[in-house]
Chain A
Amino acid sequence: MLHRSIGWLLMILIGFHAEAFAAETIQVTDFSGRILRMKRPAERIVCLIESALSGLYMLDAQSRVVGVSTNVYEKPTVDAYARMDERIARKTLPAPGNWDFVSIEHVVALKPDLVVIWAHQNEVADALSSYGLSVYGVFIQSIEDVFKEIADFAALTATEKRGSELVAMIRQSLDSLKEQIHMSDAMRKRAYFIWPQGNLETSGFPSTVQQLMDYAGVCNAASSIQQEHAVIQLEQLLEWNPDLFVLWPRPKSVLPDFQGDPAWSRLKAVRNGAVHVLPDAFSCDLWTLKIVHAIRLVAWWAYPDRFTDFDPEQERIRTMKRLYGSKWIE
């Protein structure tokens, strides 16, 4: 009788323990297909992708970050982070690498339990895993990818509540925008995206730029091109003759002179002055939830009559405050 009772007691205890154990293991799959298992939420994160880092800040998990990427310390990015984090302002947060070059030694010396890198840095991932570190690879091609990244990070840092808040907020924002600019295909405007490296450098399909256009209710002029980043022929652009240009931020001095060029000046967008530049790379980052700001800007440029009292600057501040919370100081 006693034996059986003890046996049952043991079973129940083991049962509880097993459940607790199961509850403690966090499991996510990163963008390279790697499965991460962590017993506890990550305490020391080295994040070498700046867009992922901004996600961590949005989740309010920045205190867990012990290492960042080198480009965080470059202007203008550093200004935004410095305001949110003393450590960056004082340059005390180490930067052991970036999307291309990683100092394995330096990363390991920071004793992290989670390292965030680019999904294609396989050699780095292998090297880090051999030290027993969990490695999360990032590769964003769509907004759904950003949502997944936020959800994964939320799980890994035990900030699920904030995570789902953020995702819901952005989904809702996109839905309401969709309502606002609802129109038939025939009425849709056509936009041409220009990267700063050259006036013929654009993004086709699939790409985050395509997503930007889709959610903003415009057609991507280059959607017939099956490349994420492509250089098109000028003739082709003349044939598409888009209604507006959307330019990725660039130093002011390098703003292209479309009016002065005989070929470019023929285009509808140039003649109508519909050449728009996204204000800054940080607030419009297409690899983060901030893409919603870029989407709203593009929608406003394309269909200004669908908006009343749209103030881009106010919009930006509002979006940043909602995403980053009270940390965000203007």
Chain B
Amino acid sequence: MKPSSTRLLLLYLLPIPILFLSLWIGPSRLFGWGDVLVHFWKALSGAHYREEAGQQMMRTILWDIRLPRILLGFLIGGALSVSGCALQAMFRNPLVCPYILGLSSGAAFGAAVSIAIGSGLLQLFSFGFGILAVGASYLLARSRKTVSIVSLILSGVVVSGLFTALLTIVQYWVDPFKLQTIVHWTMGNLHTAGWGKLRSAAGPILVGTGILLLYRFRLNVIALGDEQCRSVGLHPEVEKFRLLVPATLAASASVAVAGVIGLVGLLVPHLVRMMIGPDNRRLVPASFCFGGMYLVLVDDLARSLASVEIPIGVFTNLIGGPFLIYLLRKERVGWQI
């Protein structure tokens, strides 16, 4: 049962119209669909026209608010999905998410510290501590040059717990408003997306996903097991490290700009695997496209519901959770686990 090329093509191409149509969605009542169409037509045809104040506002909303937010959502959805693919292959377990090695707890702690002390370096703190947490898990799990899956998971649990405890301490000390902000951040948010955030996140995300894309064939090898890996000439420890670094880079950068958005890195590879099979040569790029599209769609929903910002993590969990359970039940608890 080879995946049909139409299905693949659909997965790769569908994001484009979806992203475009997402530009329409938002709470503003300043302009309607007709205005947007006219605006695009004029922009495309290169015609010069005098902008009225209302049109200026529309242009600002479209190009400076919605567009970077949509692009950022796409990048983050894609990054988390590809990261999930890599970790699922590494752990040989389709129910692993990018946060398993303590990334989310570390990043949340970093963000909390930054909010508590009032520094403006939230992204840096969160990124740094996310990577620190994964590094700590990895080093803890290493024993005599081997890193077994079980010890990785265990150390991930320990490091997660440690950073959660530290986070709780920070939450104890801050005032109610800061606490609210910390909690809000932890649930994932895209509302402060702008070109600046896109610029800072795009680098590590593209580098991380790029490397994983390059090594996607090796994910197949690793997914078969350490022994199999070694026997065909790849060093399992080296390969695991080689995949963990870019996966963590991409996921950490995503969390740094948008908080902890859950159930994307877990659900999307699962879904895409069901659609086109587990071969990572196709799974990785398809997950990127589908994951990006998925997050943009969820964000469209979040944006259109109310004029207040509801953290996007709320939606990804509310939608993804029941859906995942449904999939698992439908599928004989997936693949001989």
Direct contact between the two chains A and B in their complex (CB within 8 A) = yes
- Contact residues of B between 12 and 70, Cβ < 8 Å to A: 26-30, 56-57, 60-61, 63-66
B309 contacts A by Cβ under 8 Å: yes
Query: Are B191 and A233 touching (Cβ within 8 A)?
Result: yes
Determine whether the beta carbon of A239 is less than 8 Å from that of B115: no
Query: A111 to nearest B CB, angstroms?
Result: 27
Q: Are B194 and A233 in contact (CB under 8 A)?
A: no
A197 near B180 (CB under 8 angstroms)?
yes
B184 is an interface residue with CB less than 8 A from chain A? yes
Question: Is B233's CB within 8 Å of the partner chain A?
Answer: no
User: Distance in Å from the Cβ of A75 to the closest Cβ of chain B?
Assistant: 12
The contact sample of 9 A-B pairs, CB cut-off 8 A, is A224-B307, A231-B309, A233-B303, A234-B191, A235-B26, A235-B65, A236-B27, A241-B57, A251-B118
In the complex the two chains form, is A195's CB within 8 Å of B309's CB? no
**Chain B residues whose C-beta falls within 8 Å of the C-beta of A100 in the assembled complex:** 172, 176
The answer to the question of B175 belonging to the interface, with a C-beta cut-off of 8 Å to chain A, is yes
Give me the interface of B with A, judged by CB distance under 8 Å: 26-30, 56-57, 60-61, 63-66, 115, 118-120, 172, 175-178, 180-181, 184, 189, 191-192, 194-196, 303, 307-309
Q: How far is the CB of B210 from chain A (nearest CB, A)?
A: 28
Given the contacts A238-B28, A238-B65, A262 and B60 also touching, CB distance less than 8 Å: yes
Q: A227 vs B28: C-alpha distance in the bound complex, in angstroms?
A: 20
Contact B120 A197 (CB under 8 A): no
User: A229-B180, A231-B308 provided; 14 other pairs, C-beta below 8 A?
Assistant: A101-B172, A200-B192, A224-B307, A233-B27, A233-B308, A234-B191, A235-B26, A236-B27, A238-B60, A238-B65, A239-B28, A254-B118, A263-B64, A266-B57
Of residues 184 to 222 in A, which have CB atoms within 8 Å of B's CB atoms?
Answer: 195-201
Does residue A223 face the partner (Cβ distance < 8 Å to B)? no
Would you call A128 an interface residue if the criterion is a C-beta within 8 Å of the partner chain's C-beta atoms? no
Give complex CA distance A101, B172 in Å. 8
Contacts of A230 in B (CB 8 A): 308-309
Interface pair B60/A263, CB less than 8 Å apart? yes
Chain B hits for A99, CB < 8 A: 175-176
Complex-state Cα separation, A254 to B116, whole angstroms: 13
Q: Which of chain B's residues have a CB closer than 8 A to the CB of A253? A: 119-120
Most chain A beta carbons < 10 A, residue from B30, B63, B307? B307
User: In chain B, what residue has the closest Cβ to A201?
Assistant: B181
Choice from A198, A229, A241 contacting B192 with Cβ under 8 Å: A198
A200 (CB) vs chain B CBs: closest residue:
B191
Specify the chain A residue showing the minimal Cβ separation from B302. Answer: A233
Residues of B within 8 A of A195 (CB): 177
A residues in contact with B191, CB < 8 Å: 200, 231, 233-234
Query: Which residues from A are CB-within-8-Å of B178?
Result: 197
Q: A198 vs B194: C-alpha distance in the bound complex, in angstroms? A: 14
| Given A251-B118, A253-B120, A261-B196, A233 contacting B64 (CB threshold 8 A) | no
Is A225 located at the chain interface by the 8 A CB criterion? yes
**Residue numbers in A under 8 Å from B189 (CB-CB):** 231
Flag if B192 contacts A250 (CB, 8 Å): no
Query: Once bound together, how far apart are the Cα atoms of A234 and B176, in whole Å?
Result: 24
Question: Which residues, 234 to 250 on A, are CB-close (under 8 Å) to B?
Answer: 234-236, 238-239, 241, 250
Name which residue of chain A comes closest to B303, CB basis.
Answer: A233
CA separation between A232 and B309, bound complex, in Å? 5
- The residues of A that contact B29 with a CB separation of less than 8 Å are 239
Interface residue A71 (Cβ < 8 Å from any Cβ of B) = yes
- Docked Cα-Cα span, A328 to B295, in Å, equals 56
Given A196, A198, A201, A263, which contacts B65 in the complex, CB threshold below 8 Å?
A: A263
When chains A and B are docked, how far (Å) is the Cα of A230 from the Cα of B28?
A: 18
Inside 8 A of B28's CB, which chain A residues have their CB? Answer: 235-236, 238-239
- In the bound complex, do residue A229 and residue B177 qualify as a contact, i.e. CB atoms below 8 Å apart? yes
The answer for the CA separation of A195 and B118 in the assembled complex, in Å, is 12
A196 with B192: CB separation less than 8 A? no
Q: Which residues of B contact A200 (CB under 8 A)?
A: 191-192, 309
Contact A261 B194 (CB under 8 A): yes
CA distance A99 to B175 in the complex (A): 8
Closest 5 CB pairs of A and B: A197-B181, A263-B64, A231-B309, A262-B64, A236-B307
Question: Taking A197-B178, A239-B28, A266-B57 as contacts, is the C-beta distance between A227 and B308 under 8 angstroms?
Answer: yes
What is the bound-complex CA distance between A219 and B255, given in angstroms? 37
Given A232-B308, A235-B26, A262-B195, A197 and B57 contact (CB-CB distance below 8 Å): no
- Report yes or no: B175 in contact with A239, Cβ–Cβ below 8 A: no
| Residue of B with least CB distance to A227 | B308
Give B129 Cβ to nearest chain A Cβ, in Å. 19
Question: When chains A and B are docked, how far (Å) is the Cα of A234 from the Cα of B60?
Answer: 11
B322 to chain A, nearest CB (A): 26
Residue of B with least CB distance to A254: B120
Most buried by B among A101, A251, A262: A262
CA A270 to CA B159, docked complex, whole Å: 44
Given A197-B177, A198-B192, A230-B308, also A235-B118 (CB < 8 A): no
Complex Cα distance, B98 from A216, in Å, reads 50
Tell me, in angstroms, the Cα distance from A261 to B68 when the chains sit together: 13
Residues of chain B within 8 A of A196, CB atoms compared: 118, 177
Give the docked Cα–Cα distance between A224 and B120 (Å). Answer: 30
Distance (whole angstroms) from the CB of A33 to the closest CB of chain B: 21
Asked, given contacts A238-B61, A239-B30, A262-B60, whether A233 binds B307 with beta carbons under 8 Å apart, the answer is yes
Bound Cα distance A250, B60 (Å): 28
Q: State whether A197 touches B308 (Cβ < 8 A).
A: no
Task: Decide: B177 and A235 in contact? CB cutoff 8 A.
Answer: no
B307–A225 touching, CB < 8 Å: yes
Residue from the set B29, B60, B177, B196 with the largest chain A CB neighbour count within 10 Å: B60
- B190 CB, min distance to chain A CBs, angstroms: 10
Complex Cα spacing A198 to B118, Å: 11
Decide: B57 and A238 in contact? CB cutoff 8 A: yes
Min distance, Cβ B173 to any Cβ of chain A, angstroms: 9
